[in-house]
């Protein structure tokens, strides 16, 4: 009982942003180097400004410095797709890498589903859609729209690493359902 109480106290005292407990046998998460984080932040800002080529360059730098940076792979996948259909195979590679790094990352699964749809693999895109819908995630209907249209609607909000509300991740907390985020 004392061990449990001590473990609970240590877990509650852990700094915010650091996982207090890892699943048994799971490797500890690698930290993201500051240089990679800065490039990711820059690339994400450029994405929100529709500066696709510059975003790709910054996000490529982020994944070169930290190949384990899931959100950078996710946003790089999105940026590459926005450059044009000839970039979709490369975008798929980054969506796939993000899923390999974190199979339960909803935005990675969404990006992979979009890439599958654009590459003509509707069945695999539908598999990603089912995964999202089973978890009642708003990305499910967004992916269904891409699958049905067989193309992305450029007027739709960008859905990137934390795109559940249509906004890209900026390092802040996850979005709260029903609350519209405000600009900093």
Q: Is residue 176 part of a domain?
A: no
> What is residue 52's predicted lDDT score, i.e. its pLDDT?
94
Q: How many domains does the chain have?
A: 1
The whole model's pTM is what? 0.73
> Taking a C-beta distance cutoff of 8 angstroms, is the pair 74, 160 a contact?
yes
Most confident range (mean pLDDT) of 4-8, 92-96, 147-151 is: 92-96
* pLDDT at position 47 over 60: yes
Q: Looking at residue 123, which CATH number applies to its domain?
A: 1.25.40.10
Residue 82 lies in a domain: yes
Asked whether residue 5 is domain-assigned, the answer is no
Q: How far is CA 28 from CA 22, 45, 49, in A?
A: 7, 29, 35
State pLDDT tens for residues 153-178: 877 777 655 433 343 433 333 344 44
Six-digit token string for 105: 């990352």
Average pLDDT over residues 29-37: 92
In a domain, 42, yes or no: yes
Nearest to 76 by CA among 169, 151, 184, 171: 169
Q: Is residue 12 part of a domain?
A: no
Q: Average of pLDDT values for 95-112?
A: 94
Percent of the chain with pLDDT over 90: 57
Residue 149 has pLDDT above 80, yes or no: yes
- Residues 45-63 have a mean pLDDT of 94
Which CB contacts under 8 angstroms, 24+ apart, belong to 28-35? 30/66, 30/68, 32/66, 32/69, 33/65, 33/66, 35/65
Is residue 7 domain-resident? no
Containing domain of residue 110, as a range?
A: 32-165
């Amino acid at each position: 009982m004392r061990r449990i109480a001590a473990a609970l106290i240590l877990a509650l005292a852990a700094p915010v942003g650091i996982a207090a407990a890892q699943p048994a046998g799971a490797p500890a998460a690698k930290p993201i180097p500051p240089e990679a984080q800065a490039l990711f932040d820059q690339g994400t800002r450029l994405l929100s400004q529709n500066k696709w080529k510059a975003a790709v360059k910054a996000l490529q730098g982020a994944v070169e410095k930290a190949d384990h940076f899931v959100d950078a792979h996710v946003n790089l996948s999105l940026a590459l797709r926005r450059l044009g259909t000839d970039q979709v195979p490369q975008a798929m590679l980054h969506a796939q890498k993000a899923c390999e790094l974190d199979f339960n990352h909803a935005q990675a699964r969404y990006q992979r589903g979009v890439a599958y749809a654009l590459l003509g693999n509707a069945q695999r895109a539908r598999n990603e859609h089912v995964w999202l819908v089973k978890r009642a995630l708003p990305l499910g209907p967004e992916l269904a729209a891409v699958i049905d249209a067989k193309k992305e609607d450029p007027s739709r909000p960008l859905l990137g690493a934390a795109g559940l509300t249509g906004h890209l991740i900026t390092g802040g907390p996850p979005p709260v359902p029903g609350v519209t985020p405000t600009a900093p």
